Structure 1
Amino acid sequence: MKYFPIFLLFFTCSVIADSDTKSRAIDHAPIGVSADHYHKKNESMISIRHGYMKMSENIFNGSNISSNDILMMPNPLGNMPANLSVVPTDMSMQMSMIGGMYAPSDKITLMIMGMFVSKSMNLNSYQAMMNRDLLGNFNSSTKGISDVSIGALIRLREDESSRLHADISLQKSIGNNKEKGIVLTPMNSSVEMTLPYGMQLGDKSLRIGLGLTHLKKINQKFRWGNQVRTKFILSKDNWNYGNQTELNSWFQYEMNQMFSVSTRLKWIQQNKISGSDSNISAPVQTANPKNYGGKELLIGFGANYLTHLLPGKKDRLGFEVLIPINQQKNNLQMKSSYQIIVGYQKSF
C-alpha cells in the first residue's frame, strides 16, 4: 500500500439509473469495473482512479519456472549470447486515470479519460557463458502519459429491475514507445538500451472499444452485473499490444445506504504483440513479442462508501483488490501477484 498514492484513481462510471431518488452505495459497480452506468439528462460526473499491480517470479505456459531453467532457454532474437541471460524478478505498475462524463440526453452519456502510468522492474544479469554466475541486478523504470480516450454509453433498455446499455470508444496511445534505460549486460557492463515492450508507455496505436453491460436488481439488498468489453486495433506503428477481450461478473450486497460490499470474477484475454522493434534486442524474455498476452482469471473483493467531502451531492469512495486464480499466459512471462484499485467519484 505504501507504494501508491491513495487518492488517485481512474474515472469510471457508476451511478445506476434506477428508480431510487436517494444515492446508495450499491448504485455503483465495483470500482475496478469501467463503463458500468449511464446518467440522466444534464447530469455529469468526474472521477479519479488509481490502480497498483504487482508481479513476481516467472511462469512458462502457465507453470512455474526457475531462473536456472530460464537461463537454459535459447535467445530467440538471434543475437549474442545464445541463451537468455537477463531474468526479471519483480515488477510493479501504477495507473492513474482521470476523466469525466456528461449526459446530453437520457439515452446518451459522453465520456472522456486520460491515463498516466508508472512502471518499475527489477532484473538479474548473469554471465553469458561458462558457469552463468550472477553478475548483479538493476532496475528499469518509466513513467508518463499513456493514452487518452473518448466514448459514449448508449441506453438500450431499462425497467424497475434491470438495465442494459452499450458503450463505444476510441482510444489513442500517445505514450512514448522508444523509452530507454541503463541495463547491466551479460558482459558486466552498463549500457543504455531501448527498453522492452512491457516497459514502454504506449504503442502509438488507435483502438476502438465496444462493450455491453447488464445489471439485475435481485432485491433491495442484492445486485448482479455482467459485462463484456473488447478493444481492436484500427491503426498502428511498427508494433502494437494485442487485441483484448474482458468479461466481468459481479455480485453486490448493501450493508446500509452508505456502504456496500462486492465480489467479482474477471476474465481477460489478450493476443500477443504484433510486429517488432529492431532496437529491442536484449537477451531477456520481455524483448520477445511472443512472450505477451494470454488468458487470466481473477477474483475481486471490494467496497463502496458514500460520504460528504465536497459540497453538493454525496462523494463516493471505492476500494477493490484482485487476486489471480488462474494464469495461462503465452510462453515465458512474469506471474501476476495482485492488483489494488482505489477511486473517488463526484456527480453533479
Structure 2
Amino acid sequence: MRYLLLLLIILGQKTVANDKATSRAVDHAPIGVMFDHYHKKGEWMISARQSHMEMTNNIFNGNAVSVADVLEMPNPLSIQPANLSIVPAKMGMQMTMVGVMFAPTNKITLMAMINYISKDMNLNTHQEIMSRDLIGSFSTSTSDVSDMTISTLIKLKEDDKSRWSGEISLQKSLSQKDIEGNVLTPMGQTMEMVLPYAMQTGDGASRFTFGITNIRKITDNLIWGNQVRTKAVIDEDAWAFGNQYSVTTWLQYEVSRQFSVSTRLKFDHENKILGRNLSVVAPVQTANTENYGGKELQLGLGANLLAKLLHGKNDRLGLELLIPLQQNKNNLQMATDYKIIFGYQKAI
C-alpha cells in the first residue's frame, strides 16, 4: 500500500499544465465509488479498475469461531456427515472492471461496464466422526467473465457548491452458475462436484440498480460526498445472490490540483441467497444458502492523482484500501481482511 502511494506522489510531480485549468484530482470520488460523476455533451471516458479482496478465518453472527467450533456445527444438507467436515481457511477474489462512458447531452451520461472475476479458496478436510482429525488440504479456483452492466447517469441539479445525480442500471450475469471442481471429501477421496455458491463467478440473474449521489464543496480544498444505492434481483433461475443495499460517505482533501486524499465510510447490507442449487451438497459452510449476506461497515483510505501518461487529456489514477470495522454477517462465514482497489480513468 505505501509503495503504491509513493508511486502516485512521484507521478504527480509530472506536469499537467497543458490540460484544462479546471481539471483537478479531487473532481472524482475515491476510486472505489462508482457512478459518482457525469460528463458534458460529447465527452467520452474509458476506465479500468482492478480489485483484490482477502478473507481468512471464520465468524458466526459476527463473532470469531475456531476450527473446532465449526466442526461441531450441524450439516443441514445431508444426513452424512452429521456435522460440517470441510473448513475454509483462506479465500482471495480478484475483479477486473472495464468501462466506457459517453454523454449524448449535458444531462445524460451513458455507461457500459464488463467484469471479469477470479476466485481462489484453500480448505481443510477433517474426518467425519471420532477424533475429527485433519485428513488433508485442497484448493479450488474459478475464473470467468462475470457480468455486464448498462447504466444511465442523470444530472439532477448542479451549482457552485453542490451537485446531484441519479443512476439507473441494468446488470446481467454472464457466467455459468454451476462450475465444478475437485473436492477432498471426509472419506479421503477426491471427487468432482459442483462448487459452492461462494466459488461461482455468476448466478445467471438480472438485476436493477437505482442510486443517488451528492457531492458538496465544504471549502475550496475539502469535498464531502454521499451515495445511496440499491441493487435488486428482477429475474433469476433456481438461485441468485441476494439483494444489496449500500450507503457510503466520504471526505476528500485537495493536497494540490494534481493530488488528493480521501477517507470513507461504507455500509453494505446483502440479503441471503434466493433459492438453491440442489447439486451443491458438500459438508462445508459455503454450501448452505443461509450462510450468505449480512451487514458490514468498512473504512476506506484513498488517493487520486492527475498525471500525464498518455497523449491527450490528463490520466487519472486512483487507489483505495478498504478495511472492515464491523462484520455482522449472517450465520457462519469467512471474515473479510481487506480489499484494495486500483483504477485508471481517461477522458477523451
Q: Same fold (TM over 0.5)?
A: yes
Can you give the 5+ residue segments of structure 2 that lack an aligned partner in the other structure?
2-19
Measure the CA separation in 2 of the matches of 1:232 and 1:22: 37
Q: Deviations over 1:220-266 (max 9, x none)?
A: 10000000011011100100000000111000000001000000000
CA contact (8 A) 1:265 1:297 kept: yes
Residues 1:84 and 2:80 aligned together = no
1:35-54 correspondence runs (5 A): 35-54=35-54
SS in 2 for 1:302: strand
| TM-score, with structure 2 as normaliser | 0.94
* CA displacement at 1:219 relative to structure 2: 1.5
* CA displacement at 1:176 relative to structure 2: 1.3
RMSD: 0.8
SS in 1 for 2:291: coil
2:337 corresponds in structure 1 to 337
Identity of aligned residues (%): 56
1:111 corresponds in structure 2 to 111
- AA at the equivalent of 1:279: S
| TM-score, with structure 1 as normaliser | 0.94
SS in 2 for 1:290: helix
2:288 corresponds in structure 1 to 288
Q: Deviations over 1:92-151 (max 9, x none)?
A: 000000010000000000000000000000000000111100001000100010000101
1:160-179 correspondence runs (5 A): 160-179=160-179
2:6 corresponds in structure 1 to none
CA contact (8 A) 1:169 1:209 kept: yes
2:141 corresponds in structure 1 to 141
Measure the CA separation in 2 of the matches of 1:206 and 1:26: 34
SS in 1 for 2:340: strand
2:204 corresponds in structure 1 to 204
* CA displacement at 1:78 relative to structure 2: 2.5
SS in 1 for 2:290: coil
1:22 corresponds in structure 2 to 22
Structure 1 runs (4+) deviating above 6 angstroms are: none
Measure the CA separation in 1 of the matches of 2:70 and 2:119: 23
- AA at the equivalent of 1:70: V
SS in 2 for 1:311: coil
SS in 2 for 1:78: coil
Measure the CA separation in 1 of the matches of 2:69 and 2:26: 48
* CA displacement at 1:80 relative to structure 2: 1.1
1:59 corresponds in structure 2 to 59
Q: Deviations over 1:26-68 (max 9, x none)?
A: 0110000000000010011000000100000000000000000
Number of residues of Structure 1 aligned to a counterpart in Structure 2: 330
Deviating more after overlay: 120-129 vs 71-80: 71-80
Measure the CA separation in 1 of the matches of 2:60 and 2:85: 16
SS in 1 for 2:36: coil
- AA at the equivalent of 2:227: Q
Deviating more after overlay: 282-291 vs 70-79: 70-79
CA contact (8 A) 1:79 1:281 kept: no
SS in 1 for 2:247: strand
Residues 1:154 and 2:160 aligned together = no
1:319-334 correspondence runs (5 A): 319-334=319-334
Measure the CA separation in 2 of the matches of 1:327 and 1:163: 32
SS in 2 for 1:70: helix
1:262 corresponds in structure 2 to 262
Measure the CA separation in 2 of the matches of 1:69 and 1:28: 45
Q: Deviations over 1:149-198 (max 9, x none)?
A: 10100011000010001000000001110101001000001110000001
CA contact (8 A) 1:222 1:252 kept: yes
CA contact (8 A) 1:96 1:117 kept: yes
1:5 corresponds in structure 2 to none
